[in-house]
Each structure stands twice: as structure tokens, then as C-alpha cells.
Amino acid sequence: MTQVPLTPPTPVDIVRAAERLKGVAVRTPLLRSDVLDAKLDARVFVKAECLQRTGSFKFRGAYNRISCLDEDERRRGVLAYSSGNHAQGVAAAARLSGTTAKILMPLDAPRSKVEGVEFWGGEVIGYDRSTQNREAMGRELAEREGRVLVPPYEDPYIIAGQGTAGLEMVEQFAEFGETPDLVVCCAGGGGLIAGVGLAVKEACPAAQIWAAEPNGFDDHRRSLISGQRERNAQLAGSFCDAILTPEPGELTWSLNSRQMSGGVTVSDAEVAEAMRFAWSHLKIVGEPGGTAAFAAVLANKLDLRGKTVGVLITGGNVDAAVFERVLAGR
């Protein structure tokens, strides 16, 4: 069995991940809007990971991890736990890599995400996110069935794969003749912002990395203030389901604690407004959790005036009924 080292990835690991993903993952566009720039008096560039394969950035990390399995591991299959986007990424990466996947998903996961897993041949096992521990369930099931556990963020291959979104972003900034002053990214377990921050800081050391989190789920913001990992008091209560996690990951925090400049929070109403703006002016669909960072930018939670800003919309897997209500302002 291939042993995954529990040490943070390096910028070289992100480059290697990009090589594995070449021709498999989508090089998602970096979008601009004159309306957005005028509204914020800034140069804002939006990395549209909602257009990634399976509808979110999660495919990057999942494929980078699963494509590295040896023959015996592929035969035994993989297991993951996720609210939906990692689940779809794992299911797709498993199918493309010639293995099988079982996924633990919360019972309240959006139906569109469950259907996405099933489309790629993944087997869904439901759990109650309020009363059951998905990590413990995942470890027990993986051990019992001999499957390889593919966690959503506590894995250097996962972090490096997510970091390819940041690597692409800085390459695309250069194509525009620009360098970001700050990059804003949502944070759940911290895998994406850890990888993106690592890639951005390697290319643009002066760039600031900011986390955006839902109100009441600002574990990264509070952890940066206290200097240690802080837990959220609850696991439900926001429609940003994709980024509702108990606390920053130990491995991801080892990177984020030294890369991030700070964190800001957004309300569900601010996220809904950002989803409407992205639909109206960028012509893209963002899911609630995936639009949190864009909501922070749009709501002026940071001093952006006169600056060049990168922001990620990380997923577009939202149920049609939810998106309809958001667009209608209900």
C-alpha cells in the first residue's frame, strides 16, 4: 500500500499535480466584469472553478490523489466523506482511474450533488451531520472493507491538487499583465486555501491571502487571532453547506497559519446577493458555499480600492429550486 506522508506539500508538488491533471482537468477561466470593477473601484478577477469538471475545484485534489494509487489499491477501491463536491470529485476520479468509490454524504446534502456522485458510479451512504462523526465512520468502513480513505483536505496530494487552481490563477494574471495584491478564497477544512495560498505566495510573495467564511463558522478567522485551531460551536445553520466543517485541518492549518493574512465572514443574504450578481454579470452559476469569497469581495469586507484582486468561485452545484429562490430574492 502506498503510504501518504502527513507533511505539507511544496510548490514543486503543485507543479507535479498540474502535470497529472493536464488534459484531464479544465483550465477554468479568469473572468472580469466592468460593472464589478466600477462598483468596487478595483481590478477584480474571478477564477470560475464552478466550471471545473464535476462542477467544483474538488476534482483537482481527488484526481491527483487517486491517480497515484498502486494496482492493489485500485483493486480495493476508495472511500470518502463529503457534503457533495469532494464526493463528486472522488467518484469521477475513481471512474477515470479504474477503481470504485463509496462516499459518506450527509442526509441533507443537495440532491444535485448526490446525483452527481451516482452519475459517476459512486455508492452513496447517508449520515446525519448533526449526530454522527463522519471521520470515525469513514475510518471504520475503510478499515473493514480494505478501501483507501481519500479525505477531503487532510492529505498532501489533495492540497497540492487544489493548489493547481492557484497556479493557474497566477499564470492567468501574468497573461493579463497583472499581479494580485490579494486573493480571497472560501475556507471549510482549509485544503483549497492552503494549496492556493502556497501557489500564489510562491509566485507573488507580497500577495495577501484572505479567507471567507459564513457567519458563525469562522474557525479560520478565530484561529488566526488566537494562534491555535478553534472549533465551530455548530455544524449546521447556514446554506453554505460545502464549507461547514468543525475546525481547520491539522495539516491544512500548518500552511494556512503562516500564509493567510486574515479572515472575514459573510451572511447568507450577502452570499445570495453574490450569487445573483455572478449570474447577472459574469453569467455563471455559483453554489452558496462556493460563492462565499465572492460575497466577501462584493460586500466590501476588505479594503480593495485601487487594488488588483483575485477571488475564487469554487463550485456551482446548487439545487435548481434553491437557485430559483435565490434569483427571485426569496
Is residue 313's pLDDT more than 90?
A: yes
CATH, domain range 59-149? 3.40.50.1100
Predicted pLDDT at 326: 97
Strand partners, 254: none
For the stretch 190-213, pLDDT in tens is: 999 999 999 999 999 999 999 999
Sequence-separated contacts (24+) of 323-328 with Cβ below 8 Å: 323/275, 323/285, 326/272, 326/275, 326/276, 327/275, 327/276, 327/279
Burial class of 106 by CB neighbour count within 10 A (0 to 12, 13 to 18, 19+): buried
Dig out the grid coordinates for 65 from the structure: 490523489
Q: Is 257 exposed, middle or buried (0-12, 13-18, 19+ CB in 10 A)?
A: middle
Does residue 314 sit in helix, strand or coil? coil
pLDDT category, 96, cuts 50, 70, 90?
very high
Assigned C-alpha cell, 265: 465572514
Within 8 A by CB and 6+ apart from 158, the residues are: 61, 62, 64, 65, 150, 151, 152, 191
Q: Determine the pLDDT at residue 83.
A: 77
Average pLDDT over residues 123-128: 93
In the three-class reduction of DSSP (H, G, I as helix; E, B as strand; rest coil), residue 240 is classed as: coil
Contact indicator for 32, 63 with CB cutoff of 8 Å: no
Tell me the pairing of strands 148-149 and 182-186. unpaired
Q: What is the mean pLDDT of residues 211-219?
A: 97
The mean per-residue pLDDT over the stretch 88-108 comes to 95
What pLDDT, in 10s, does the model give residues 33-65? Answer: 999 999 999 999 999 999 999 999 999 999 999
Please determine, for residue 1, whether its predicted confidence score (pLDDT) is greater than 70.
no
pLDDT at 236 over 70: yes
Q: Average pLDDT, stretch 265-274? A: 98
Residue 163 has a pLDDT of 98
| Residue 288, all three cell numbers | 452558496
CATH architecture of residue range(s) 11-56+156-327: 3-Layer(aba) Sandwich (3.40)
**Torsion angle, alpha carbons of 319, 320, 322, 325, to 10:** 170
Report residue 324 as a C-alpha cell.
430559483
C-alpha to C-alpha distance for 210 and 73, rounded to whole angstroms: 37
Task: Taking the CA atoms of 26, 276, 45 and 194 in sequence, report the sign of the dihedral they define.
Answer: negative
Bridge partners of 310, per DSSP, are 45, 183
Nearest CA to 146 out of 1, 272, 279 is that of 1
Q: Is residue 157 within 8 Å of residue 3, measured between CB atoms?
A: no
The b-or-e profile of 282-320 (16+ CB within 10 A means b, else e) is bebbbbbbbbbbbbbbbbebbebeebbbbbbbbbbbbee
pLDDT for 84 equals 85
Per-domain boundaries in the chain = 11-56+156-327, 59-149
What does DSSP say about strands 101-106 and 148-149: parallel, antiparallel, or unpaired? Answer: unpaired
Can you list the alpha helix ranges (DSSP code H) found in the chain? 11-21, 34-40, 58-66, 71-76, 85-97, 111-119, 134-145, 156-175, 191-203, 219-226, 250-259, 268-277, 292-298, 320-327
pLDDT reported for residue 76: 97
- Equal fold, 11-56+156-327 vs 59-149: yes
